[in-house]
Amino acid sequence: MEQFLINPDCMVYDNHPVTLTGEPYHYCPGCGHGVIHKVLMEVVRDLGIQEEVIGVAPVGCSVFAYHYMNVDMQEAAHGRASAVATAIKRVRPQNYVFSYQGDGDLAAIGTAETIHTVNRGENILMVFVNNAIYGMTGGQMAPTSLLGMKTSTSPYGRDAASMGNPIKITELLAQLPGAYYVARHAVHTPNAVRKLSKAFKNAFEYQKLNRGTCFIEVVSNCPSGWKMSPVQSIDWIEKNMLPMFPLGDIKVPDPKTGNPVMVKNN
């Protein structure tokens, strides 16, 4: 009988890069965080920069990111990851520094730090995982929760008049001169994952140029908080998240001048 029906290279579950510790994720089945961790760490491996990377974990479901990412890391207070990353990069400019934050962390409690980090053009990569909900605390409304979306603190659906509109912080940040590379990606399809991987690679490479902040939003899911099966959550991303948070580059360095320019139609 044929032993290997599946090409070993395609075996996702035992194909851990050295940049992951190999510790099993604590994430719910189907959660995007695990995929994003893996994509990020594969890029670190591929670029051969594991020894030079310092990461900052947030408060949110990915608070234990350092259990999985096999690089030096600091765990920041809720919302302050970009301030922590700023300081690490300032005292160790020779290192690659990234922060990893959820929507509550980055776009609610940490909004001031987020804006000012990008405004100063800190030479770091900021990874923003937008799952439109507070996963860790049990599914409360997030700054990016969609209008009408039911969460444990918007049980009748998010209503713009009393709860505000979902914030498109990524577009907001792209306006700042300190932003060098701004893009929105997702992890709901293999193709989206490939694009995200390329974006992370670009971001680390740009960090060497000292030209400003690279900011990558990743539209993700939270099957538990959204009260859906993982498969349903993928459909829900397509139908509801992406119209509000369209994927693609928002600001990129001009290939000729190297200066960051806004991408048209975005």
Ligand X SMILES: Cc1ncc(C[n+]2csc(CCOP(=O)(O)OP(=O)(O)O)c2C)c(N)n1
Question: Which one of 50, 137, 153, 165 is in contact with other proteins (CB under 8 A)?
Answer: 50
Contacts of 99 (CB under 8 A, 6+ apart): 55, 56, 58, 76, 81, 82, 84, 85, 124, 125, 126, 127
Least distance from C-beta 101 to ligand SF4, angstroms? 13
**Alpha-helical segments (H) within 94-147:** 103-104, 111-119
- Angle made by CA atoms 129, 220, 177, in degrees to the nearest 5: 40
- Angle made by CA atoms 175, 173, 194, in degrees to the nearest 5: 110
Task: Tally Cβ neighbours within 10 Å of residue 25.
Answer: 17
Residue 110 tokens, joined: 């940490």
Contacts of 167 (CB under 8 A, 6+ apart): 107, 143, 144
Q: Residue 196 binds which entry of other proteins, ligand SF4, ligand X, none, with Cβ cut-offs from 5 to 8 Å by kind?
A: none
Q: Residue 52 binds which entry of Mg ion, ligand SF4, other proteins, none, with Cβ cut-offs from 5 to 8 Å by kind?
A: other proteins
Question: Which one of 113, 174, 224, 237 is in contact with ligand SF4 (CB under 6 A)?
Answer: 224
Question: Which one of 39, 76, 129, 192 is in contact with other proteins (CB under 8 A)?
Answer: 76
Which region, judged by CB under 6 A, interacts with ligand SF4, from 149-157, 162-170, 199-207, 217-225?
Answer: 217-225
- Angle made by CA atoms 254, 257, 260, in degrees to the nearest 5: 45
> Taking CB under 6 A as the criterion, which residues in 12-41 touch ligand SF4?
27-28, 31, 33
Task: Name the amino acid, one letter, at 255.
Answer: P
Which region, judged by CB under 8 A, interacts with other proteins, from 2-10, 63-71, 171-179, 254-262?
Answer: 63-71
Write down the residue that tokens 């860790």 correspond to: 136
42 contacts Mg ion (rule: CB under 5 A): no
Question: Which one of 105, 113, 122, 217 is in contact with ligand X (CB under 6 A)?
Answer: 105
126 contacts other proteins (rule: CB under 8 A): no
| Contact positions vs other proteins (CB under 8 A) | 21, 50-54, 56-57, 63-64, 66, 70-77, 80, 83-88, 90-92, 95, 112-113, 115-116
| Contact positions vs ligand X (CB under 6 A) | 59-62, 78, 102-105, 129, 131, 133-137, 142
